[in-house]
Structure 1
Amino acid sequence: MPGKPSLDDIKQAEKKPLWQRLGWLAMIWTGSVLALFVVASLMRMFMNAAGLSTH
Structure 2
Amino acid sequence: MSTKPSLHEIQQAEKKPLWQRLGWLAMIWTGSVVALFIVASLMRMFMNAAGLSTH
User: Shared topology, TM-score over 0.5?
Assistant: yes
Q: How does 1:11-26 map to 2 (within 5 A)?
A: 11-26=11-26
- In structure 2, stretches of 5+ residues that fail to align are none
Separation in 2, partners of 1:42, 1:3:
37
Q: CA RMSD in A?
A: 1.3
Q: TM-score, normalised by structure 2?
A: 0.94
Q: Give identity over the alignment, percent.
A: 87
Instruction: State the TM-score, normalized to the length of structure 1.
Output: 0.94
Aligned length, in residue pairs: 55
Task: Give the gaps of 5 or more residues in structure 1.
Answer: none
- 2:5 is matched with 5
Shift in CA distance, 10/54, structure 1 to aligned 2, threshold 3 Å: same
Q: After the TM superposition, list the runs of 4 or more consecutive aligned residues in structure 1 that deviate by more than 4 angstroms.
A: none
Tell me how far apart the structure 1 counterparts of residues 42 and 9 of structure 2 sit (CA, whole Å): 40
Instruction: Give 1:3 deviation, angstroms.
Output: 2.6
